[in-house]
């Protein structure tokens, strides 16, 4: 695209105010990072679903969980919004026989999973008729229980992906009232160099230092996160 002058052409349109945002689509962290290195794009379409995130896909270039997380964190840090494609893993996650988790997920769970990744602004499934569109729109009225994707945690997941907070909020309610997922997201982003994440953390009503160490979250986290210890770590990182 660079050789053909397309980038310069689109950049010129942006400078003139004709184009407001420049984006690209990719399926692999490596390619996406190369494009982001040019600093031209502020929008990325990227395939995100639990099969890719938990390394249960055959796709060899989907990257590891760490590589993918690092990409989302980079996008958040650099102000690049992510629009998600393939949230249902080509429909396989909605079918118990085809799902690599050995169980069927709902549309709501898949959408919520994608929306919980850093920098994600929208999810763009491809409904083929009005009925499918109505199914998707049910997300807007569904309950927190409908959206809870913690059933993803199972013996099928590799040890390497367990122990990391995926921001699912399954460990709620926290007796202290802490938004555990959000506190963790701010922490992960701040550690990855996102200066604004510290500001977001500051503005939270309750912080890691408000943790009562009751161990409720440790007992209820399906992803084996030692959250009570993590709250101490987070409080020490931010200072409160
Ligand atoms: S600690 Fe566990 S249950 Fe709570 S948000 Fe993180 S991954 Fe989900
Ligand atoms: S250990 Fe802390 S963060 Fe976890 S549920 Fe108890 S008070 Fe909330």
Q: Ligand 1 centre from 35 Cα, in Å?
A: 32
SS3 149: coil
| 216 C-beta neighbours (distance < 10 Å), count | 18
For the whole model, what pTM was predicted?
0.89
Probe residue for ligand 1, chosen from 118, 185, 217, 224 as the CB with the greatest number of ligand atoms within 8 Å: 217
Residue 158 is predicted with a pLDDT of 64
Strands (E), the chain: 23-26, 43-47, 81-85, 120-123
pLDDT in tens, 73-128: 999 999 999 999 999 999 999 999 999 888 899 999 999 999 999 999 999 998 99
Q: Which two tokens stand for residue 77?
A: 């840090």
- Map out the domains of the chain as residue ranges: 20-152, 163-240
For residues 127 and 108, what is the distance between their CA atoms, to the nearest angstrom? Answer: 14
In this structure, CATH architecture of domain 20-152: Alpha-Beta Barrel (3.20)
Residue 191 is predicted with a pLDDT of 93
Q: Ligand 2 centre from 70 Cα, in Å?
A: 26
For residues 180 and 221, what is the distance between their CA atoms, to the nearest angstrom? Answer: 11
Which atom of ligand 2 has the smallest separation from the CA of 215? 1
In sequence order, what are the residues at sequence separation of 6 or more whose Cβ sits closer than 8 angstroms to the Cβ of residue 51? 57, 89, 92, 93, 99, 100, 101
In sequence order, what are the residues at sequence separation of 6 or more whose Cβ sits closer than 8 angstroms to the Cβ of residue 55? 62, 64, 65, 158, 160, 161
pLDDT at 210 over 90: yes
Probe residue for ligand 2, chosen from 215, 216, 229, 235 as the CB with the greatest number of ligand atoms within 8 Å: 216
Q: What are phi and psi of 182, to 5 degrees?
A: -70, -40
Question: Looking at residue 69, what DSSP letter applies?
Answer: H
């Amino acid at each position: 695209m660079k050789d053909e002058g397309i980038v310069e052409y689109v950049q010129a349109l942006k400078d003139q105010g004709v184009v407001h945002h420049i984006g690209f689509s990719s399926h692999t962290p490596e390619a996406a990072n190369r494009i982001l290195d040019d600093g031209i794009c502020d929008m990325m379409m990227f395939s995100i679903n639990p099969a890719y995130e938990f390394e249960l896909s055959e796709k060899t270039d989907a990257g590891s969980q760490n590589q993918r997380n690092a990409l989302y964190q980079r996008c958040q840090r650099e102000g690049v919004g992510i629009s998600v494609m393939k949230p249902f893993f080509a429909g396989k996650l909605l079918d118990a026989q085809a799902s690599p988790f050995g169980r069927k997920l709902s549309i709501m769970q898949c959408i919520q999973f994608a929306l919980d990744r850093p920098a994600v602004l929208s999810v763009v499934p491809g409904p083929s008729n009005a009925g499918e569109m109505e199914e998707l729109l049910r997300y807007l009225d569904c309950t927190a229980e409908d959206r809870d994707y913690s059933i993803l945690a199972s013996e099928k997941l590799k040890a390497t992906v367990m122990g990391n907070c995926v921001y699912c909020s399954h460990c709620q309610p926290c007796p202290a009232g802490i938004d555990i997922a959000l506190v963790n997201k701010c922490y992960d982003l701040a550690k990855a160099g996102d200066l604004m994440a510290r500001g977001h953390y500051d503005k939270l009503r309750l912080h890691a230092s408000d943790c009562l160490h009751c161990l409720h979250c440790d007992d209820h986290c399906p992803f084996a996160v030692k959250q009570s210890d993590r709250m101490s770590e987070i409080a020490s990182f931010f200072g409160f």
